[in-house]
Amino acid sequence: MSERITQQALESCLWGAAVLLRGLIDAGDYKQFIFPLLFFKRVSDIWHEEHQAALAGSAGDLSYAEFAEKHRFQIPEGAHWNDVRQQPKNVGQAIQTALRQLEAANPDLLAGIFGDSPWTNRERLPDATLKNLIEHFSTQTLSVANVPEDELGNAYEFLIKKFADDSDHTAAEFHTNRPAVHLMTQLLAPQAGESIYDPTCGTGGMLISALVEVKGSGGEYRTLKLYGQERNLITSGIARMNLFLHGVEDFHAIRGDTLADPRHIEGDGLRKFDVVLANPPYSIKQWNRTAWETDKWGRNFLGSPPKGRADYAFQQHILASLSAKGRRAVLWPHGVLFRNEEQAMRARMVEQDWGEAVIGLGPNLFCNSPMEACIVVCNRRKTAVRKAKVLFIDALHAVTRERAQSFLKPEHQQRILQAAWETWQTDGRAFWQQMDAPVETLDQIATEDDANA
């Protein structure tokens, strides 16, 4: 019987797999091979674990142990990890065939999850390299008994961050600074039974953060309804694997362009959500502004953003997706607060009393970008004391930089939260050293925005 794997050993194993690819492919491409292999190994080991448990419970009845009902995922004959491991040549083709068979055998759960990675490109991935990868992963048994879901999920998140650190600017497409995500989640305080949405979900980190927050507070996290959309094929598959590896079974993470083709629809309109967390891609230049001007979903209620910046298209999509009790926290570059070409839309947003808080953070929180960040919190159900007011927190100096990494320390997160909650619960002001947290009325904000225009 295999022994439990320590977190350190697990993380070392996962990163060791990536090291085997160094010099063969770009670091930014590691993810499209390592994550599918990790997920394939996990699914195979769990299937074997379930099979053994069924045999033990049925006095060795092989037919009983292979019933579909005994397994979370179905593995067709010849498509198990061990089948691929035994292939002496054409390993890339064997992997690709097994992954496609897994998708076909589990259409409701796994359709398209493995993406379109070029497994059969021998110039990039010769048989020897793929066999080394297979043997490397085979040194560990990734059963639930050996690696509980929380631990494997944490290791998966570790690997996502390592890939982001090791990649170029494209890392921003699939990784958002996790302490910032944690702060955003705590500000919204998701509750059991609520619906959580990320319209640009990347690898699923914000959805996972909501899950962890509810679980950590003792809530019944299994009642959460998780929804996401992601344009990139590979990244959307990674998000789905991430959710599965964290033990989430009921979620809806769909591939698609959120602005051009929102996929979460209910009746004749957008589905509404209780909590929205997002870090949209900033200042997209290639998007269909013409279609937005007559958007059939009614998302242009603040106006049409400039052609070269889709930020306020995402802004309006998110606001239009809030339920009657909905609230949202979005991580933006500071530019969304001040740019002249968006001033009219910003003014309408203020007039309609969407804003609840703006938290200014320091630079370098975005992957491989020096831009300063901010969190903008909105709420459809502001309490009486919060109506017609917006809380501003200057936390520019709360960002710590160590070893070329920028992040929020836990104590800084707590102080920002304390400043927010103390101010929200009173009609006064909260202060923390250099972090001033004034409350401004809508008239004050409009006056200042006009002055800056």
CATH number of 387's domain: 3.40.50.150
| Arithmetic mean of pLDDT, 158-184 | 75
- Say which amino acid occupies 40: F
Domain match, 223 and 118 both: no
Range with the poorest average pLDDT among 152-156, 337-341, 365-369: 365-369
| Residue 270: its H or E element | strand 269-270
Q: What pLDDT, on the 0 to 100 scale, is given for residue 378?
A: 97
Q: What pLDDT, on the 0 to 100 scale, is given for residue 442?
A: 55
Q: Is residue 316 part of a domain?
A: yes
> For residue 41, what are the domain limits?
7-164
Q: What pLDDT, on the 0 to 100 scale, is given for residue 426?
A: 58
Domain boundary (164, 187, 204) is at 164
- Of 199, 253, 240, 254, which is closest to residue 113 (Cα–Cα)? 240
Q: Could you read off the pLDDT of 395-419 as tens digits, one per residue?
A: 887 777 776 567 788 888 998 898 8
As to burial, measured by CB atoms within 10 angstroms (0-12 exposed, 13-18 middle, 19+ buried), residue 194 is buried
Looking at the 3D structure of the chain, how many domains does it have?
Answer: 2
Q: What pLDDT, on the 0 to 100 scale, is given for residue 373?
A: 87
Q: What angle do CA 141, 149, 192 make, to 5 degrees?
A: 170
CB 202 within 8 A of CB 310: no
125 conformational bin, left if phi > 0, alpha if psi -120 to 50, beta if neither: beta
Domain boundary (133, 164, 195) is at 164
Domain match, 289 and 432 both: yes
Torsion, CA 104, CA 107, CA 109, CA 115, rounded to 10: 60
CATH number of 91's domain: 1.20.1260.30
Domain match, 179 and 158 both: no
Domain boundary (164, 181, 201) is at 164
Q: Is residue 240 part of a domain?
A: yes
Q: What pLDDT, on the 0 to 100 scale, is given for residue 70?
A: 93
- Of 145, 144, 166, which is closest to residue 73 (Cα–Cα)? 144
Q: What are the distances in angstroms from CA 339 to CA 174, 313, 348?
A: 26, 15, 15
Q: What pLDDT, on the 0 to 100 scale, is given for residue 394?
A: 87
Domain match, 389 and 254 both: yes
Q: Is residue 32 part of a domain?
A: yes
More confident residue, 22 or 312: 312
Domain match, 207 and 143 both: no
**Residues paired with residue 328 on neighbouring β-strands, in sequence order:** 276, 378
Mean pLDDT score of the chain: 89
Q: Is residue 397 part of a domain?
A: yes
Q: Is residue 290 part of a domain?
A: yes
Q: Is residue 68 part of a domain?
A: yes
Domain match, 201 and 282 both: yes
Q: Could you read off the pLDDT of 273-314 as tens digits, one per residue?
A: 999 999 999 889 999 999 999 999 999 999 999 988 999 999
Domain match, 115 and 233 both: no
Domain match, 156 and 215 both: no
Rounded Cα gap, residues 330 and 277, in angstroms: 6
Q: Is residue 2 part of a domain?
A: no
CA 84 and chain centroid, separation = 30
Query: What single-letter DSSP state applies at residue 381?
Result: S
Q: Which residues contact 133 (CB under 8 A, 6 or more apart)?
A: 17, 20, 21, 33, 37
Q: Is residue 1 part of a domain?
A: no
Domain match, 178 and 318 both: yes
Q: Which two tokens stand for residue 225?
A: 């309804």
Q: What are the distances in angstroms from CA 28 to CA 69, 137, 165, 176, 334?
A: 39, 21, 10, 15, 27
Q: Could you read off the pLDDT of 420-440 as tens digits, one per residue?
A: 887 766 544 443 333 444 555
Rounded Cα gap, residues 209 and 183, in angstroms: 10
Q: Could you read off the pLDDT of 310-345 as tens digits, one per residue?
A: 999 999 999 999 999 999 999 999 999 999 999 999
Rounded Cα gap, residues 166 and 168, in angstroms: 7
Domain match, 229 and 311 both: yes
Domain match, 13 and 83 both: yes
For 106-232, where are the alpha helices, taking DSSP H only?
Answer: 107-110, 127-138, 149-166, 178-188, 205-216
Domain match, 200 and 272 both: yes
Q: What pLDDT, on the 0 to 100 scale, is given for residue 433?
A: 35
